[in-house]
A and B are shown apart, each in its own frame.
Chain A
């Protein structure tokens, strides 16, 4: 593997801020947020259904994808909600989408 081209950033927040600035400069931020919102709107009910049906693999996969996307855009509440579901599923503990759904509801306020 090659060396990183520069020093790594120090925090997730720094990285998200850098990504947001990069997307804004490229004129892609609004589209990315709209796409992310659509992904949330699709994924949360699907995670809910998968959990209700006992389909842990699907729930984990969807939550995992949502966490990565949220982290990229600095949507920490959604990333945390998705991450919590992932952890619960991995441990075989009961999981709920309430926190994640609440976080998604606030998304519209942040990114109208």
Chain B
């Protein structure tokens, strides 16, 4: 199912078109300019863009150029709907392959619908809310959606959410220690009194500093800071201390624990993936992992019903949670993260890295800055966390990583050992949360062997492999298996650049199946490039683009 993305800074036009399209059964989202549209496009589920030309930050022509320059998006149909009548704009838009160029002062909604239907045909399907929901907010939302035939209702208004995000006191009560983490990282060269003042705000950190310094006859926080030293204090701050400050009620305790397990796992993975440098000091990568979605904690604690409803909608709509959240909760995760990090005065490098994680900059080929490396590491770390089934609900996606992209991001050559990371995160959170904390359920692993072939252009740091290993007995190899080995396999996953990759084509795999005496062996090709739509797929062989939804991979494994 693909969606329609309406990019227009004029809220009236944008929201009217979104409403009209959703009332007609299309899955449709809006974005106020190109920079907000880009992460939605990168999520990979947009089938048509309706785009204005004159917009702040990233205008329509720049967005169009970026779309055409992206291998995954270059054939995406785009309709321009604008008030710009200058010939140069029309000519450039045409050169960039827009399907239609419509003028706002002379456009009819029925005409626009006809054009959209012609482009999409039956491709886009309506979103239908589920029949049951766990809480009142979801029930309300579902009723509203049903009553008005509108897909994803708005459950929160932007203003109160933005106000909550910008309130450092609210965040301090939410998790004071988290704020201290960032401050301590930022204050690496701060004096004793500065550090003491900072950690005195947080009883957990202060207690830990005193406890650590107790062996050295420490009496005051200043003494503790002086004796422990700033480096060790940073390590304390980047320890599970934040978790202990979060009240865990009976109802939301397990959910909050899972959220922290995810965060600690991402932070731990960040330490493995992002090399230290003169720009990226100790603790920075960990802090980025720990803080990258601070807004999610705010949503859980202050707007829990609405947030759970948004998660459910994401699952039902088969959409990334980030895209659904923007519409349903009024602020995108990126906007929320920026607001919360600003409220706690996070160091600029951390804020910038998190911003580039949520909204990847549209530039290719440039030498990555420290924030780019951190953002790239964060993308990979969160994929791994989802691969380990630790991430928030929604529609997480995973895929192999091209070696070239891995190198270009200047990430560390490492063995992630993701299963160890999971065990470590669970242990840390369990210790921090105390003896009454409920155990996390281990993801079910099917007792079947799935072959996994990963083309040599992909890195061995591979969230897809980790996902498969959580679902079944799977081991990666760089070559197709010998035919006799197929007898032990219930299925085969083949990750290749595209279906025309020499020696790894569907036809070659089909021949292998026959040679191995398993002509109906289920095979799933996972490809990263376009340009192979004309390659025929033999029966029993499917092909999907990476990153693919974890649930689709789970369905494939379940069917093997």
Contact = CB atoms under 8 A, between A and B. Distances in A.
Contacts of B148: 27
Given A1-B101, A5-B118, A27-B23, A72 B107 contact: yes
Interface in B5-57: 9-13, 15-16, 19-20, 23-24, 54
B105 A68 contact: yes
Contact of B12 (A5, A26, A27, A65): A65
A26 B24 CA distance: 8
Interface stretch (B109-117, B415-423, B501-509): B109-117
B33 to A, nearest CB: 12
Contacts of B99: 1-2
Q: Which of A39, A61, A68 has the most C-beta atoms of chain B within 10 angstroms of its own C-beta?
A: A68
A38 to B, nearest CB: 9
B104 A4 contact: no
B428 to A, nearest CB: 49
A95 B338 CA distance: 37
A12 B105 contact: yes
A18 B110 contact: yes
A67 B115 contact: no
A105 interface: no
Given A2-B100, A6-B114, A69-B10, A35 B109 contact: no
Nearest to B15: A35
B540 interface: no
Contacts of A4: 111
B106 interface: yes
Interface residues of B, number: 31
B109 A39 contact: no
B158 interface: no
B551 interface: no
Contacts of A35: 12, 15-16
A67 B83 contact: yes
Interface in B83-109: 83, 94, 98-101, 104-109
A50 to B, nearest CB: 14
B10 A32 contact: no
Q: Which of B11, B12, B54, B110 has the most C-beta atoms of chain A within 10 angstroms of its own C-beta?
A: B12
A68 B104 contact: yes
B12 A36 contact: yes
Contact of B23 (A1, A28, A64, A68): A28
Contacts of A71: 104-106
Given A5-B114, A19-B108, A28-B23, A68 B13 contact: yes
Q: Which of A1, A9, A23, A31 has the most C-beta atoms of chain B within 10 angstroms of its own C-beta?
A: A1
A82 to B, nearest CB: 11
Contacts of A6: 111, 114
B111 A68 contact: no
Contacts of A67: 83, 105
Interface string B114-125: 110010000000
A1 B98 contact: yes
B16 A32 contact: yes
Interface string B355-397: 0000000000000000000000000000000000000000000
A15 interface: yes
A103 to B, nearest CB: 16
Contacts of B11: 39
Interface string A53-75: 00000000100110111011000
A111 B421 CA distance: 61
Contact of B20 (A28, A64, A69): A28
B10 A65 contact: yes
Nearest to A79: B105
B76 to A, nearest CB: 15
A27 B23 CA distance: 9
Contact of B100 (A1, A12, A26, A27): A1
A6 B114 CA distance: 9
A68 B84 CA distance: 11
9 contacts: A5-B118, A6-B111, A9-B111, A19-B109, A32-B19, A36-B12, A39-B12, A65-B12, A68-B13
8 interchain residue pairs of minimum CB distance: A68-B104, A65-B10, A69-B12, A5-B114, A22-B109, A71-B105, A15-B108, A39-B12
Interface of A: 1-2, 4-6, 9, 12, 15, 18-19, 22-23, 26-28, 31-32, 35-36, 39, 61, 64-65, 67-69, 71-72, 79
